[in-house]
C-alpha cells in the first residue's frame, strides 16, 4: 500500500472502495507514531504493522471501515469516544480535550454521522474522520441541526488550517472551505424540525 506524504511528519494510507476501508492517518512524533483510524483491509493492517516503534491508535468512530483492523494491528494505547470504547470493550475514552506533550490534541466531535466521533489535531492539520458527513434518513442525507451547530463551533475553535476528511478527494481540505460549506448546510434549517435534509 503506497503511503501519501502530507507534511514532514504526517502521511496517510489512502482509503479504498473494495473492501471499503477508510484513510489511515500516520503522525510521526519524536519517540512514537500515532495512527488515526486503522481501516479494514489486509493491506492497511500490514502497512500499519510495518511501521517500527511504539504506536498509539485513535479511532474516529465505530464504523467497521475505520475500525476493522483494530484486532490485527499492534499498538501501545487505544483512544476513542465512549461509545466506541464500550463497543470494543477497551480503550481510553476521549470525552474532553486531551493534550499531549508531543503536540497531539485529541477532542470529541459532535456529529450527525455517528455517535461519539473523535478528532486529532497536530500542528496545522486536523484529522476529522467522517464527522462532518450526514447520516441517512428515509433515503435522504440528513443532519441534526443542534449537532451541526456544535460541530461548526468546535471546528472554528481549532488552530489547524487544514482538515483531513476520510473518503474524500482531495483528502486535505482548507478549514475555511469546510466551515463555510457546513455553514451553508446549517442555513437550510427549518426552525420547526431538528433535522436538516440535504437531498
Residues 6+ apart with CB under 8 A from 193: 145
**Along the 199 residues of the chain, how does pLDDT read in single tens digits?**
789 999 999 999 999 998 899 999 999 998 899 999 999 999 999 999 999 999 999 999 999 999 999 999 999 999 999 999 999 999 999 999 999 999 999 999 999 999 999 999 999 999 999 999 999 988 889 999 999 999 999 999 999 999 999 999 999 999 999 999 999 999 999 989 999 998 6
State the DSSP H helix or E strand holding residue 136, giving kind and residue range, or none if neither.
Answer: strand 135-137
Q: Determine the Cα–Cα distance for residues 135 and 178; give it in Å rounded to an integer.
A: 17
Helix spans in the chain (H): 42-49, 64-67, 82-88, 145-157, 175-186
Exposure of 169 in the CB half-sphere (CA atoms within 13 A): 5
Beta bridge partners of 172: 164
Domains, the chain: 4-197 (3.60.15.10)
Q: How far is CA 4 from CA 12, 138, 142, 172, 185, in A?
A: 5, 37, 32, 11, 31
Q: Determine the Cα–Cα distance for residues 195 and 39; give it in Å rounded to an integer.
A: 30
What's the pTM value of the predicted model, to 2 decimals? Answer: 0.96
Contact 85, 77 (CB under 8 A): no
Amino acid at each position: 500500500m503506497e503511503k501519501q506524504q502530507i507534511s514532514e511528519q504526517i502521511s496517510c494510507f489512502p482509503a479504498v472502495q473494495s473492501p471499503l476501508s477508510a484513510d489511515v492517518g500516520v503522525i510521526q512524533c519524536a519517540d512514537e507514531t500515532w495512527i488515526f483510524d486503522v481501516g479494514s483491509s489486509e493491506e492497511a493492517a500490514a502497512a500499519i504493522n510495518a511501521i517500527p516503534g511504539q504506536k498509539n491508535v485513535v479511532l474516529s468512530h465505530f464504523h467497521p471501515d475505520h475500525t476493522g483492523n483494530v484486532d490485527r494491528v499492534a499498538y501501545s494505547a487505544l483512544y476513542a469516544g465512549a461509545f466506541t470504547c464500550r463497543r470494543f470493550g477497551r480503550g481510553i475514552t476521549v470525552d474532553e480535550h486531551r493534550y499531549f506533550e508531543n503536540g497531539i490534541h485529541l477532542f470529541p466531535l459532535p456529529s450527525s454521522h455517528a455517535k461519539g466521533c473523535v478528532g486529532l489535531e497536530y500542528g496545522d492539520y486536523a484529522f476529522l474522520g467522517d464527522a462532518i458527513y450526514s447520516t441517512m434518513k428515509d433515503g435522504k442525507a440528513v443532519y441534526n441541526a443542534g449537532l451541526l451547530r456544535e460541530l461548526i463551533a468546535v471546528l472554528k475553535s481549532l488552530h489547524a488550517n487544514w482538515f483531513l476528511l476520510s473518503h474524500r478527494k482531495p483528502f486535505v481540505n482548507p478549514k475555511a472551505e469546510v466551515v463555510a460549506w457546513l455553514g451553508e448546510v446549517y442555513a437550510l434549517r427549518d426552525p420547526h424540525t431538528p433535522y436538516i435534509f440535504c437531498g
